[in-house]
Chain A
């Protein structure tokens, strides 16, 4: 009933898309499967970019260029999001007195759905047809650019691509950037890159799935993936224990797992474990009946200081560490 590739319905399902992808503009609309597709009319699931950031910025028109409206659009060019005020002008229609009475203020709050219904008749998107924004003028880097992590293994890159200035009151926390990065050459004492992440079989969860015995059986122990060439320099054997020290002054004790998936300049650790802290098994402290099937050191004990400049999400991929045989 649905084409495997486009998701478009056929036969009885003609006019529908598999799963009714958002936005479904009206009760008879079949859904819009692609974020941007101007080769199809809006009524059939096509759309341009939403008019989301105003009409103009720094003298630049933010609406889409002439002739770039989705197929079969009454208005061939860019147009703003539709409101009760502009609908007649933008769509080129006349509302009846009754429609004028029932219509909502704009497409987002129009419970009468008159705006969407009229838009479908004209082949136009209720949220407008605007340019995509590649420049975010509310961000410190309006266009993404490289900045070295606070704890970088490369001082030359720190000079070339320094981090941000410290940020006061960042979600109520005074947050360090440059002052931390320049405090010392971190790579001297902590020469190895530290990367943490998720294991593919733990998709969707961090620590929680340690309460599934079958998932716990796949990786019953906390480990550190390490390239044999790096491990060999420190006398660390496959399966032996190793210490990982962080610039924060913390350390964890984990089992080394030889792996060629990590190059010689870094180690990798999964973040799915808890219960041990700096070499000590604290799992007896779990409330009765809640101890997970698998316990071990938490990788986050040694991830380094560093927070995202916008969201304050902690830095878990760009850190440094020092390792030793345990």
Chain B
């Protein structure tokens, strides 16, 4: 990872098989209460030939994050690596961020403002929150902090088709370019399934 890395997600719609491995891994890892979907897999045009596709969506950790701009208590902060986090002790659960967010990422527990995961909850890119890193309190309020341990976020680590990528945006785009360029160059240069994933007839 370069020093100026901006961490980003990318979900490849040609690969995602809507297995929900990512969303279930996320919920299990962070012990999310039922109904809190930090990550969700959406299938469009189910069963319609040629039009069906699935995508896994979570907080996209926007560079110019609208959620941060509209928050009346200013609870959001953006880390140097681009991860957008928020302070649950400042958050009042007003849901303005949900209005502003283009992806429906902010989640609100149904068991009131004082549920174990607190007020608003969203994908932390597995980077915890403002509490002391890897403390019990951080874990209880924000879930695991895998980034501090040098681990890949659990959703992307779980993705068996490698549709879901996460990391330095420059590296992610390199991987995607390489995949696109590999199309049509024969099975020997591609792991099994690439020709299917990228639509070539070889």
Contacts and interface: CB of A to CB of B under 8 A. Distances in A.
B109 to A, nearest CB: 14
B46 A259 contact: yes
A214 B47 contact: no
A130 B22 CA distance: 44
Contacts of A205: none
Given A200-B17, A213-B34, A217-B34, A261 B47 contact: yes
A4 B34 contact: no
Interface residues of B, number: 21
A28 interface: no
Contacts of B45: 260
Interface in A100-146: none
Contacts of A260: 45-48
A5 B48 contact: no
Interface residues of A, number: 15
Contact of A200 (B18, B23, B52, B188): B18
Nearest to A203: B19
B189 interface: yes
Interface string B86-119: 0000000000000000000000000000000000
Contacts of B191: 4-5
Contacts, number: 40
A217 B32 CA distance: 12
Dominant secondary structure of chain B at its interface with chain A = loop
Interface in A204-251: 212-215, 217-218
B190 interface: yes
Contact of A5 (B24, B28, B34, B190): B190
A262 interface: yes
B27 interface: yes
Nearest to B31: A214
B46 A201 contact: no
B46 A215 contact: no
Contacts of B34: 213-214, 217
B171 interface: no
A26 to B, nearest CB: 29
A269 B20 CA distance: 19
Going nearest first, the 7 A-B pairs with the smallest beta carbon separation are A260-B47, A261-B47, A201-B20, A214-B27, A200-B19, A214-B24, A260-B48
Interface of B: 17-21, 23-24, 27-28, 32, 34-35, 45-48, 52, 188-191
